[in-house]
Amino acid sequence: EQGRKAYIKILKDMQSAKLLKIKESVSLFSAKNETAPKKRIDLMNAGLTEMIRMLESMTDGLSFGTGGKVDLEICCFQASDLLSMSASFVDSLLQKKAMGLELQAANGELNADPALLRRVLVNLLSNAIKFSARQSSIKLESSFKDNRFHCAVSDNGPGISE
């Protein structure tokens, strides 16, 4: 058991270190190169940050038997940024199926963990793309009602049978 924990810690440290070096390089490139497409670099940074957190979460669960435990990183951010970043993550999937995405983002601030919310939205969008016909369209929309944030993904796929 002790050997397994040591192995998992080494694996976690090695992979996290590699991803952190890539993330630092992307950030450094962004700072030095003002002509680089900022949206693309921000997307890479967000993806790397999410990969690092996912790796840490998985290895922590394996090491200590605490599967499902996630440390939240709460901050204030714009709901429209969450939706546009989530849409960017699935852009290549949309292109492969020649699909469109209608985005209707509400204006407003959220105080939550943006990486975890983005992961949920990307998962929902990926499922909508996967089960929708080629050249169809999906919709990602959000609203604020009664001081709560609401988000919906809709498509024309087969749906879930009852």
Q: Give the Cβ contact number of residue 89 at 10 Å.
A: 19
pLDDT of residue 64: 46
Has residue 4 got a pLDDT over 90?
Answer: no
Q: What percent of the chain has pLDDT over 70?
A: 62
Q: How far is CA 1 from CA 15, 64, 69, 71, 151, in A?
A: 21, 10, 20, 25, 43
pLDDT of residue 79: 95
Query: What is the distance between the alpha carbons of residues 151 and 76, in angstroms, rounded to a whole number?
Result: 17
pLDDT tens-digit profile of 7-62? 666 666 666 666 666 767 777 766 666 665 666 677 777 777 777 666 666 655 55
Q: What percent of the chain has pLDDT over 90?
A: 31
Q: Is the pTM of this model over 0.95?
A: no
Query: Which tokens is 5 given?
Result: 């924990």
